[in-house]
Structure 1
Amino acid sequence: MAILYLVPNVLAEGDWQHVMPAQVYSILTETRYFIVENIRTARRFMKQVNREIDIDECTFFEINKRTQMQDLPRFLKPLVDGNDVAVISEAGCPGVADPGADVVRMAHQRSFKVVPIVGPSSILLALMASGLNGQNFAFKGYLPVKPNERSKEIAALEKRIRSEKQTQIFIETPYRNNNLISDLLKTCSPSTLLCIAANITSEKEYIATKTIQDWKGNTPDLHKQPVIFLLGN
């Protein structure tokens, strides 16, 4: 039976073998059909894993916010024909804060075997390193862009921290990181814990958890850097 492999991508520059199992090598080397968020990024990652892969012999289907649901059956046609397919995330794990979830859902509906491969997830790595509640947590994705709406959402997240003991995890477009931090410091209670996890798995990795009070006047410049934010108590 053909398999839909879910292959994670690296979060930062460096040796892929430091963050992923050797199984990735054989899957990328032997598979000829790929569903990816960005073809250029995927090709570069594949060459990093094995320079001998003949990229020109591979077929790529691009899935992103412009992809229509009616396109997905075509992406899965190789499975119907008995060929394995690999979904490669832009960074991290496919299907987690990633458009690949729609393909995986359709594969299950058609009874294809889905195999997730171990790899780095910035969300889980940040939670692991935060010291915040890992028994009850929620990933919120992006918060609202408009300042007033964002402040209201932050207040609502903080309320859930208090009432449900639930760690709140979210991200921001890299060029708005510093604005988000400023709003967190203005909106949250001084005793609320904020974890800032930046550049995870890279040489510039930065992870720190402090109270809002302790962060004030002592925040790093995170402009245009990949960051995960966590709030807890």
Structure 2
Amino acid sequence: MSEASIVEISPTLYVVATPIGNLADMVPRAIEVLQTVALIAAEDTRHSRPLLKHFDIDTPLVAYHDHSNNAALERLLDHMRGGKDLALISDAGTPLVSDPGYRLVDLALSEGFKVVPIPGACAVIAALSVAGLPSDRFMFEGFLPAKQHARQATLKALVRERRTMIFYEAPHRLRDSLADVLTVMGPDRTVVLAREITKLFETVKRLPAAEMLEWVSADSNQQRGECVVLIAGFGGDDGIPVSVIEMLDVLRAELPLKQAAALCAKITGIKKNQLYQYGIENPL
């Protein structure tokens, strides 16, 4: 056999998405991969075993999560160094999207192993697809901080973010987080709650922030399950276009506010007093 006919087969790490609720969302390719790899690394083996049993997958299962030590990570890499394929799954959805796996993927790539995604369910994308908010540009921020001060600081840093913002939130913190969205971003900012996606009590609700807080507070059922919160991007204040606000911010960073407002008004045609009042209410 000539050297040209010899094909070196590299061990592969498969990053496999699993259903976020409805088991019918499991894609056939994911089942095939999980049945044929030598080992499956799961975020929580107790959670994953019923899923694997449902699809007649008897592949050996080991735990791998954010608290796994370096020794556990090395054992997985040794498995691949020995020429065997490995699959990574999380409790639900696509691994690495607010789920463990980054270190394993990073090191697998660093050692030259092939890493292959097996796409499927992802709560972030599923929620965005039904939210009715702009989806050409969006940002995912994971979970909001648990403490109010840190949570409000995060929201304040994003108050003028123009992209659609997406967060995961724990059900027991949902009301407090919505109250902070109301406080920081105002009563009229559009908020979407996508709860229990693909499950029996799936709910998608879109309301202004004040009405959303009132609606969730009035129904304890909306404070249960897996929650995705989407917030509409900043669209300007008091009828002032975002582009004008950005210009005013650049000018007032270098000039006194009164001068900056006058110059911005002259360039854009927006009333000077309106710009000045905005600057007073929204200091840099």
TM-score (norm 2): 0.72
> Structure with the greater relative contact order (CA < 8 A, sep ≥ 6): 1 or 2?
1
Give the aligned residue type for 1:224. R
Which of 1 and 2 has greater Rg?
2
Shift of the alpha carbon at 1:92?
0.6
1:66 matches 2:67 = yes
Aligned match of 1:54: 58
Shift of the alpha carbon at 1:172?
2.0
Q: Aligned match of 1:11 in 13, 20, 26? A: 20
Aligned match of 2:122: 121
Aligned match of 1:229: 229
| RMSD between aligned residues | 1.9
Counterparts of residues 120-159 of structure 1 (less than 5 Å): 120-159=121-160
SS of structure 1 residue aligned to 2:215: coil
Q: Which runs of 5+ in 2 are unaligned?
A: 1-8, 234-284
Shift of the alpha carbon at 1:129?
1.1
Q: Does the Cα contact within 8 Å between 2:42 and 2:61 map onto a contact in 1?
A: no
Structure 1 runs (4+) greater than 4 angstroms displaced: none
Q: Aligned match of 1:28 in 25, 34, 42? A: 34
Call closer, same or farther: CA 1:39–1:216 in 2, change over 3 Å.
closer
Call closer, same or farther: CA 1:133–1:84 in 2, change over 3 Å.
same
Aligned match of 2:272: none
Q: Which runs of 5+ in 1 are unaligned?
A: none
1:204 matches 2:213 = no
Within 2, Cα distance between the matches of 1:132 and 1:20? 27
Give the aligned residue type for 2:17. P
- Higher-helix-fraction structure: 2
What is the aligned residue count?
Answer: 221
Q: Deviations over 1:123-171 (max 9, x none)?
A: 11111111222222211112222223322322222222xxxx2111112
- Percent identical across equivalent pairs? 28
Within 1, Cα distance between the matches of 2:66 and 2:210? 38
Aligned match of 2:108: 107
Within 2, Cα distance between the matches of 1:116 and 1:225? 27
Give the aligned residue type for 1:208. K
SS of structure 1 residue aligned to 2:53: helix
Q: Does the Cα contact within 8 Å between 1:200 and 1:206 map onto a contact in 2?
A: yes
Q: Aligned match of 2:173 in 171, 176, 179? A: 176
Q: Aligned match of 2:49 in 43, 46, 56? A: 43
Within 2, Cα distance between the matches of 1:157 and 1:225? 26
Call closer, same or farther: CA 1:111–1:214 in 2, change over 3 Å.
same
Shift of the alpha carbon at 1:206?
0.6
Shift of the alpha carbon at 1:216?
4.8
Within 2, Cα distance between the matches of 1:4 and 1:201? 28
Call closer, same or farther: CA 1:170–1:206 in 2, change over 3 Å.
same
Q: Which moved more, 1:32-41 or 1:207-216?
A: 207-216
Shift of the alpha carbon at 1:190?
2.3
TM-score (norm 1): 0.86
